[in-house]
Amino acid sequence: MMKIDCLTKKQLRDYFISLGEEPYRGDQVYKWIYGKGVKSFSEMTDLPAKLQEKLTHIASFTEIRTLDYRVSTNDGSIKFLFLLEDGNKVESVALKDRGRITLCISSQVGCRLGCEFCTTGRIGFIRNLSCGEILGQVIEVERFLKKSEDTVSNIVYMGMGEPLDNLDEVLKSLEILTDDDGLGFSHRRVTVSTAGLVDKIDKLFEISKQVNLAVSLNATTDRVRDRIMPVNKRFNISNLMTKLRTLPIQKRKRITIEYVLIKGVNDTLEDAKRLIKLIKGLPVKVNLIVFNPGPGSAYSSPTEETVQRFQNYLVENHITAFLRKSLGKDIDGACGQLYAKYNIE
């Protein structure tokens, strides 16, 4: 069965041509799926009844269902756990901050990069998500938020998985996400985050020219990064920073450097100094995230004072550095935690 909601606009046109139909039928179906959120051919009233009937036998829609959600009593952020057709589960989190909702979506079930501080990393890699499953998270959350007349303002590919390790499906999802007839998000509002798969970054920019990039750096020496992010043994800090310096970043855009502050690992003023050196001259902003320990984590959060000292040092040295609010522990905030809970309990 062809998953009809895993196809870009062009692929849908080609699909209808392959069925001996007019290509514009593809456009019609595309608008029903993404513009109107319809998940049944019989509701696509501008398709002839015969074609509706034919499609029900050869094509289907991606199944993704909300299994659980938790609302943070601290800030109203919502963590979702979705059930996929094959019984696997993924998480998304709608982060509420100053009237905006940023939705953090998953690109894989589990992850093969094994970052030491990450609950998803400890799950290991299970499988890639299809484009339909990636977008399904956005559609489901939008549907949920609509009840309270809320809507998603920004999307970040920063949930479970490494997006660049599932690049083909991620690229398709980006195309549909940012297409006016698709989900209609402005490019400015969509960010792809990578742990540093240096060999895939060029392709991302080649195909998705206006994409916003975030890079999880999290350490300023190879010794520490090798330990907490094993991907560093393939592409070390120098490889990564050299790649960032060659990217065709558009005027007024900045790369986001994500830096999870972990107690006693990467939170000293020496780290802050090295960080400044590493990013010197690059169009970047730094997002500091206070580590949120998951079950069984060997690491812990730094004190508020240490975090403040780190941020102040960056700001005093003219680096734009935000402290990203860590999601409340009350909703198993960090990536992979709700999934882990379901698979342990």
| Nearest residue (CB) to ligand SF4, 1 versus 298 | 298
Identify the CA nearest to 30 among candidates 50, 8, 45: 8
Binding to ligand SF4 (CB under 6 A) within 93-152 occurs at 111, 113-115, 118, 120-121
Catalytic residue at 304?
Answer: no
Residue of 6, 91, 115, 258 marked catalytic: 91
Question: Residue 270: is it exposed, middle or buried by C-beta count within 10 angstroms (0-12/13-18/19+)?
Answer: exposed
Binding pattern to ligand SF4, positions 144-183, x when CB under 6 A?
Answer: ----------------xxx---------------------
Catalytic residue at 91?
Answer: yes
The secondary structure of residue 279, as a DSSP letter, is: H
| Nearest residue (CB) to ligand SF4, 162 versus 271 | 162
Distance CA 112, CA 134 (A): 18
Asked if residue 333 binds ligand SF4 (CB under 6 A), the reply is no
Question: Residue 214: is it exposed, middle or buried by C-beta count within 10 angstroms (0-12/13-18/19+)?
Answer: buried
Distance CA 146, CA 143 (A): 5
Neighbours of 302 (CB within 10 A): 21
Distance CA 319, CA 322 (A): 10
Please report how close the Cβ of residue 118 comes to ligand SF4 at its closest, in angstroms: 3
Q: How many residues bind ligand SF4 (CB under 6 A)?
A: 12
Q: Which of 84, 195, 237, 261 binds ligand SF4 (CB under 6 A)?
A: 195
What are the helix and strand counts (H, E) for the chain?
Answer: 12, 14
Please report how close the Cβ of residue 299 comes to ligand SF4 at its closest, in angstroms: 13
Please report how close the Cβ of residue 55 comes to ligand SF4 at its closest, in angstroms: 36
Annotated catalytic residues are 91, 335
Q: Which residues bind ligand SF4 (CB under 6 A)?
A: 111, 113-115, 118, 120-121, 160-162, 195, 335
